[in-house]
Amino acid sequence: MPVGLVIMKWDERIGTQILAKYPEEVVIGDKTLMQVYSTHEYTGEPGMVSLMVGSLNVASYYTGVDTGYYIILLLSLEDDPDLYEGGLADISRQVLASIEDESFINLIPSIFQRLSVYPKLNDEQRVAIIYQDEIKRLIINRLREEGVISKSELMVWLKDRYKQGFVDIDAIIMSLIKSDLIKETSVKGMPSELIFLIHDLLITRIPPIQLLANPADKGLPSNLANDYTVESRKFFQEYRPDEEDNLALIELLIDPQVYETLKLLRQAIVTRNDLEKLKKKGVDDVDYVLKKLWQGRMIQVFQDERGNEYYALLSDFFIEKFFPKYLLNVIRSEYAKKSKSNQVLIEYLNVIHDAFQAKPKKKSKVKE
C-alpha cells in the first residue's frame, strides 16, 4: 500500500520545492527529491520512473518540461510501482488543471485514496475511470465518428480542444492501448501512425432485475414489495441516459466506500445494521455513503409500520467494454465520402477483424 504522496516542482534558483504532501507527517529528504529529479532528467521525457532510495520505494510521474511538476508516490517495499502508472498519469492532469489557484491542495487526500486502491480496481471501475478522463473521452468520441485518425492529426486536434494545458499524448495512447480500446499501427504511405478504435464503452443504468423479481426474498417486507416496483418503474420512465448522468454515476463507482456498499445493495435489500457491518470492508462513514447514493438517485428508502428503514437499489448500472459492430457502417460511410484512403480503410477492416476474432466469447448481461 502507498504510504505517502508528494507534489514537487523544480525551481532553478532554489532547487526542489515541495508544494504539497499527504499525510502531513510523511518525510522525504532533499537527497531523495534530487534523485527523483535526476532520474527524470536522465530520461528527458514526461512519464513515470520508479526507483529505490534507501528504504523508500518511489513511483514518480513527471509532467514534462513545459510544466515541470513531479507527482511522487511513496510505496511500501513490496509494492510494484508499475501497477500505479496509469493512476499517476490520470491524476497528473487533475493536479495541473488546479495548480494555478492551488485548489489541488484540498484534493490531495482524495487523490491519495484513489491512487491507493488503483491496482485493486475491478473491470467496472477501470472502465469508469477511463470514461471519466476528459481527454480519453474526447478521443473515444472522435473515433466513434471516424473510426480511425492519424496520430499527428489527433495531437493537433487535442491541443485545440483541450484548453487546460498539459497533454501527454503518448501516455494517453499507451493507456488506451493497454485497455484494449484502440490499436496504433503504421500504414505504408502514411506520414504518421494511425489510431484505430477497436472496442467501445457502454455505461448506463438498468433496473435491479434480480431484486425486483422477488423483493421479499431479498430482505424487503412483502407489504412494501409493490411500492418498490412502482418507484423503480417511475424512475426508468423518466430516465434518459446521457454523458452528464454517466459522469455522475462514475463519481459513485470510483469512490471505494460507495462502491463497496453498492456491491451489497446489488445482492440484497438491507437495513442500517447491515450497512454498519461494512465497516470491516472499509466503509467508515455510512451516512456519507447513503447521502451520496440518495443524491445520485441510486437508492430508495422504505419504512415499515414499526419505523424500520430498508435501503433498496432504485437503479442498478451496467458498465462494460464491447465490440463496436457499428464501425462497419462508419467504414462504409468514410469510403462513400472518400475522406479516408482505401488503403487505410482496408487496414481498418483487418484490424477490427483481428479484434473480433480475439474477443472473449461470453454471454452479456444486457440484450443487444
Q: Using CA atoms, how far apart are residues 215 and 269, in angstroms rounded to an integer?
A: 8
Kindly tell me if the per-residue pLDDT of 163 is higher than 70: no
Pick the closest to residue 166 from 111, 101, 92 (CA basis).
92
| C-beta of residue 10 within 8 angstroms of C-beta of residue 16 | yes
Query: Is residue 364, in this structure, part of any structural domain at all?
Result: no
- pLDDT at residue 1, as a whole number: 82
50 and 152 part of one domain: no
51 lies in the same domain as 153: no
pLDDT (0 to 100) of residue 359: 67
The answer on pLDDT for 275 being more than 90 is yes
Q: Is 334 inside a domain boundary?
A: yes
Among the listed ranges 122-126, 215-219, 315-319, which one has the minimum average pLDDT value?
A: 122-126
Q: Which of 66, 65, 107, 106 is nearest to 90 (CA)?
A: 107
Tens of pLDDT, residues 232-265 = 999 999 999 999 999 999 999 988 899 999 999 9
Taking the alpha carbons of 213, 214, 217, 223 in that order, is the dihedral positive or negative? positive
User: Residue 366 — very low, low, confident or very high, per pLDDT cuts 50/70/90?
Assistant: very low
Per-residue pLDDT at 236: 97
CATH value at residue 36: 3.30.450.50
| Distance, CA of 46 to CA of 212 (rounded, Å) | 50
Close Cβ partners of 126 (under 8 Å, ≥ 6 residues apart):
179
Residue 155 has pLDDT above 80, yes or no: yes
Can you give the pLDDT at residue 263? 95
Asked whether residue 60 falls in the same domain as residue 111, the answer is: yes
330 lies in the same domain as 194: yes
Using an 8 Å Cβ cutoff, are 278 and 286 in contact? Answer: yes
**293-315 pLDDT, tens digit each:** 999 999 999 999 999 999 999 99
Q: Is the pLDDT of residue 330 over 90?
A: yes
| Burial of residue 169, with CB atoms counted within 10 A of its CB: 0-12 exposed, 13-18 middle, 19 or more buried | middle
Q: Examine the pLDDT at 363 and tell me if it is beyond 70.
A: no
102 shares its domain with 155: no
Pair 170, 273 in one domain? no
Residue after which a domain boundary falls, among 70, 102, 119: 119
> Is the sign of the CA dihedral 333, 336, 339, 344 positive or negative?
positive
| Whether pLDDT at 368 is above 60 | no
- Which of 102, 119, 136 is a domain's end point? 119
* 131 and 94 in a common domain: no
Q: What is the pLDDT of residue 362?
A: 53
Q: What is the mean pLDDT of residues 341-366?
A: 80
- Using only C-alpha atoms, the chain has a radius of gyration, in whole angstroms, of 24
Give the residue carrying C-alpha cell 485545440: 160
Query: Is 365 a member of any domain?
Result: no
Question: Is residue 194 within 8 Å of 186, Cβ to Cβ?
Answer: yes
pTM over 0.95: no
Confidence of residue 279 (pLDDT cuts 50, 70, 90): very high
- Greater confidence (4 vs 65) lies with 4
What per-residue confidence (pLDDT) applies to 29? 86
Q: What is the rounded average pLDDT for all residues in the chain?
A: 89
Which of 246, 223, 225, 251 is closest to 312 using CA atoms? 225
Q: Are 278 and 142 part of one and the same domain?
A: no
Q: At 237, which CATH number?
A: 1.10.10.10
Query: In this predicted structure, what is the pLDDT of residue 364?
Result: 46
pLDDT 10s digits, 23-62? 988 888 888 899 999 999 888 788 889 998 877 899 999 9
Query: pLDDT tens, 107-121?
Result: 888 888 888 888 888
Pair (289, 331) in one structural domain: no
Q: Look at residue 165 in the predicted model and tell me its pLDDT.
A: 60
Are 179 and 35 within one domain? no
From residue 48, how far is each of 129, 225, 229 by CA, in Å?
Answer: 19, 53, 50
Final residue before a domain boundary, out of 119, 140, 173: 119
Beta partners for residue 72, in sequence order = 6, 60
Enclosing domain of residue 23: 2-119
Give the cell for residue 197. Answer: 478504435
153, burial (CB in 10 Å: exposed 0-12, middle 13-18, buried 19+): middle
